[in-house]
Amino acid sequence: MNTPTNLKYTKSDEYFDPATGAVGISDYAQNQLSDIVFVELLVDEGEEVTVGKAIASVESVKASSEIYAPAAGKVSAVNKGLSDKPETLNSDPYGEGWMIKIEGGAGDVMDSVAYEKYCEGRSH
């Protein structure tokens, strides 16, 4: 499982990069979802989001899932290219697979070590 140490993680498998404000789904999440075929971003640049607000909807060959904001603040950027290339969430979740960027602070998040332990303890 790939969990970069510079990121923060939620129990619902989103990540937050405190340095850039980037938000997306973790490697664990994309692996559980399998082949992602559809992404709909539910927020736009300039909007205010609160922790726990649905920011995206993702569908894979296995399931659909809502993605929630791990931080509160103003949306400073939206990765509009994901709609055309949803598979980017599988191939590069921490790079080109970011969903939105938030100018603000994280909510209830874990560091990479705590998140890895949390994922190991979950039933699949």
Read off the pLDDT of residues 10-51 as tens digits, 9 standing for 90 and up.
999 999 999 999 999 999 999 999 999 999 999 999 999 999
Whole-angstrom distance, CA of residue 56 vs CA of residue 68: 7
Please name every residue paired with 103 in a beta bridge, in sequence order, or none if there are none: 74
Tell me the pLDDT of the chain averaged across its residues: 95
CA dihedral sign, ordered 97, 104, 40, 116: positive
DSSP assignment of 56-108 equals: EEEEESS-EEEEE-SEEEEEEEE-GGGGT-TTHHHH-TTTTT--EEEEEEE-S
pTM of the model: 0.94
Domain boundaries, the chain: 8-112
CATH architecture of 8-112: Beta Barrel (2.40)
Whole-angstrom distance, CA of residue 53 vs CA of residue 12: 12
